[in-house]
Amino acid sequence: MGSDDDNFYIAINHPDGNWRGFIVSPTLRQLEEGDSATSEKANLDSQPVPGEQSSFKNVFSSFRSTMSTYRSFLNFMIAMAPAASAALAERTISEFAKTRGRKREDLSNTDRSVFELTSSAYRQLLIHREEITAARRGAKHLPEVMLIGLVSAYDAFLGKLLRVVFDQHEELILTSEKNIKFSELSKFESIKAARAALIDREVESILRESHHEHFRWMEERFKMKLREGLPAFKKFVELCERRNLLTHTGGAVSAQYITNCKAFQVENLTVRIGDQLVVDADYYRDAVNVVCEIGTKLCYVLWRKFMKEERESADNAVNEFCLDLISSRDYATAEAILSFAAKCAESELFRRMMVINHANSVRLQKKLNEATKILDQHDWSAVGDNFRICVAAVRENVDEVTSLMKQHPSAIDAEDYRTWPVFRGLRTNSKFSSTYEEIFKQPLLRSTKTEVTERPKNKSFSHSTSPNPDMTKVEEEHEDIKHSERNNGPKVPLDTDTGPPV
């Protein structure tokens, strides 16, 4: 939950106008006491993450960051690949012609430049043409390469997740049946090191199995039903099998691929042995969503089971991640995760947040009636004013929203009305904007554009990245103050004094 004390500071170091990293500080005092030598460098990937495998929270944070990379940056590369290969061809051939040839002014004009080269340069030209052709082929296969990397990233995440479980509950694997040779034991500095080696050995053994076998093993060992009510699992099996084909057969369908897909009732399976499977941009994007959903739900349920005292932290982490998904307009993935998590949430506060965000993710997919039904399953009479305003916004009841805004002008901050996803679609409504301006004495939509900024911690409802084709031109330009929303949320807990919580 956010508050007025949730401000933070970013100090950007730029001596002589050159980038020298930055410092992020939660308080002004820490910023003033901070040492610029410890500032984060521009190459953040070089910085180690302390204790990355020490907790569910850190493992999930790492997974969340990885999914963000595959979702945004690599997706951007897919769109840019054709332009990049064209630019490569232009640069390579142009430089070659200029350096090895003589420009023929008599044959050139404003639209075309002609260079004359000797026959001895022709072999080198063929080499450059092959380089360009290879680059274009590489661009075409980029989604396939990234799919292989995506599944590998999931495997790495699963290994970290299992290590956290085993590190905190070693009785799950370090049974009397496990043993280690004395010759091996003597190589370790301590019993703790030997214990860690046994855990690593067990995890590596599990990861060598197929992805559906991972789930079967976890269900048996952890006494949990992980695949029940998980429709995305079919797609997960198929994309993992497709990744195996790309790795081992170049994409040619094998008997094992068909057998495994049929065993898990993969839909629309019409291929035959020998058919060539490809990965286009649409398939890749769907694969990212599937891995994102599977990984999030798996981490969430294991976190809640094996660290019961951290259940509220798990609720908060998943809700925050889904807000990122909604903010980047990945509504369907957020819906799939929140529809599950809202039923499990330990905290009444986070459960309410998840329900609102779940309904909002549905509404933003143009399914208002379904979103309303989700809200109608809960009693909202005993919640704070900020929650009531958000619920009315998801219902798209502008009259109720504006009435509550006037009755409770301090319930939600001015900036939050600009940035929370629950108000997406309402910000261009004239009644909503005029009420905002009446209360806060400033325009709702700002014409200035700012760069993307990282969201402060402990915020709860919002932010935006990509344009939405369904939005009006005004919204496309102004919605969420494009690329600069803060993820915020209701600033007060449930008002239980006005009635019993559901």
Q: What is the DSSP string of 279-324?
A: --HHHHHHHHHHHHHHHHHHHHHHHHHH-GGGHHHHHHHHHHHHHH
Stated pTM of the model: 0.73
Question: What DSSP letter does each residue of 230-292 carry, written as one string?
Answer: -THHHHHHHHHHHHHHHHHTTTB--HHHHHHHHHTT-TT----TTPBP---HHHHHHHHHHHH
> CA dist 110 to 86, 88, 90, 393, 412, Å?
20, 22, 16, 57, 59
Tell me the C-alpha distance between 317 and 344, whole Å: 13
3-state helix vs strand vs coil in the chain, percent to 5: 60, 5, 35
Whether 277 contacts 311, CB under 8 Å: no
Tell me the C-alpha distance between 69 and 143, whole Å: 14
Residue 499 confidence (pLDDT) above 60: no
Mean pLDDT rounded to a whole number for the chain:
78
How buried is residue 240: exposed, middle or buried, by Cβ count under 10 Å (0-12/13-18/19+)? buried
| Phi, psi of 109, rounded to the nearest 5 degrees | -145, -170
Judged by average pLDDT, the poorest of 5-14, 278-287, 298-307 is: 5-14
Is residue 338 classed as helix, strand or coil in its secondary structure? helix
How remote is the C-alpha of 224 from its chain's centroid? 26
Question: Hey, what are 191's tokens?
Answer: 């019993």
- Residue 469 confidence (pLDDT): 36
Tell me the C-alpha distance between 341 and 357, whole Å: 11
Residue 448 confidence (pLDDT) above 70: no
The domain ranges of the chain are 4-46, 78-141, 352-498
Closest CA to 233 of 225, 245, 223, 222: 225
Residue 12: strand pairing partners: 22
Tell me the C-alpha distance between 274 and 253, whole Å: 5
- Residue 47 confidence (pLDDT): 43
Tell me the C-alpha distance between 357 and 363, whole Å: 10
Tell me the C-alpha distance between 13 and 21, whole Å: 6
Q: What is the pLDDT of residues 153-184, one digit of tens each?
A: 999 999 999 999 988 877 776 654 555 554 55
Whether 147 contacts 279, CB under 8 Å: yes
Q: What is the pLDDT of residues 97-118, one digit of tens each?
A: 888 888 888 888 888 788 888 8
Give mean pLDDT, residues 206-234. Answer: 91
Tell me the residue type at 173: I
Tell me the C-alpha distance between 55 and 122, whole Å: 60
Is residue 109 classed as helix, strand or coil in its secondary structure? strand
Whether 380 contacts 500, CB under 8 Å: no
Residue 282 confidence (pLDDT) above 60: yes
Residue 219 belongs to what H/E stretch? helix 211-222
> CA dist 90 to 87, 108, 112, 137, Å?
5, 17, 13, 16
Q: What is the pLDDT of residues 363-415, one digit of tens each?
A: 999 999 999 999 999 999 889 999 999 999 999 999 999 999 999 999 999 99
pLDDT: is 150 or 172 the higher one? Answer: 150
Q: Please count the other Cβ atoms lying within 10 Å of the Cβ belonging to residue 241.
A: 24
Whether 236 contacts 291, CB under 8 Å: yes
CA-CA-CA-CA torsion sign (115, 121, 123, 124): negative
Is residue 349 classed as helix, strand or coil in its secondary structure? helix
